[in-house]
Amino acid sequence: MTDSTWQLLLDSLWPMIHGAITGTIPLALSSFAIGLVLALALALMRLSRRRWLSSIARVYISLVRGTPLLVQLFVIFYGLPSLGVVIDPWPSAIIAFSINVGGYAAEVIRAAILSVPKGQWEAAYMIGMSHRRALTRIILPQAARVSVPPLSNTFISLVKDTSLASLILVTELFREAQQVAAFSGQFMALYLEAALLYWVICLVLSSGQSVLEKRLDRYVAH
């Protein structure tokens, strides 16, 4: 590689990091937070004894998991305007990613809730708890521990998937890379640089996952 390529990589590093800090990371964090709330609601609907509630959740999850994220994103940003609903790039991206995380994380949370032994519900009822209180104080804290590894996977996937937002004009890490690449013609170098930055972000997240797992494992035999 020539000196000018090195210089280009160095010059483009800050715009990309800036894109990560102002685009990729807040996009991933906010979508994940909204998606988790949605997922918890869907998981509880799936577990509900009311058939119609669980059916709605089942169809939602099936739709989200059965269609490409890029298509979901395009339907919201490019499709809805034809119905008179125009949403800006940023909110469009957050809506699409939240809906997507909701579908995937719902199944994780549902499985985690089911993994808590039935005796825990019974003990909670025994001490006089209502269903809701048993869920929030006894079942969900135990389900949380079980769901940290799979939810971390969901989050890490989401961080990488936010690169799709570049296709609806959201300025984030990958869009910065694309712009410099198109301008300079150095596609290989710049896309590898972008890949490296995503990798670094995911490494940080993975170590965060280990810390969280250790914290939540304090009450389990090793």
Give the residues lining the site for other proteins (CB under 8 A): 117, 119-120, 122-129, 133, 137-138, 141-142, 145, 218-221
| Amino acid at the residue 87 | I
Which CB, 51 or 218, lies closer to other proteins?
Answer: 218
Residue from 46, 31, 47 nearest 96 by CA: 31
Which CB, 65 or 131, lies closer to other proteins?
Answer: 131
Q: How far is the CB of 137 from other proteins (least distance, A)?
A: 7
Q: Which two tokens stand for residue 134?
A: 């048993």
Q: How far is the CB of 211 from other proteins (least distance, A)?
A: 18
Which CB, 83 or 127, lies closer to other proteins?
Answer: 127
* 77: Cβ contacts below 8 Å, ≥ 6 apart: 87, 89, 92, 93, 96, 168
Q: How far is the CB of 116 from other proteins (least distance, A)?
A: 10
Which CB, 67 or 136, lies closer to other proteins?
Answer: 136
Angle at 178 (CA atoms; ends 200, 169), nearest 5 degrees = 100
Q: How far is the CB of 50 from other proteins (least distance, A)?
A: 11
Residue from 166, 181, 167, 172 nearest 21 by CA: 172
Q: How far is the CB of 217 from other proteins (least distance, A)?
A: 11
Which CB, 87 or 129, lies closer to other proteins?
Answer: 129
Residue from 92, 109, 89, 130 nearest 38 by CA: 109
> For the chain, what is the radius of gyration of the CA atoms?
21
DSSP secondary structure letter of residue 75? I
Q: How far is the CB of 215 from other proteins (least distance, A)?
A: 12
* 128: Cβ contacts below 8 Å, ≥ 6 apart: none
Which CB, 81 or 141, lies closer to other proteins?
Answer: 141
Is the C-alpha dihedral spanning 99, 100, 101, 102 positive or negative? positive
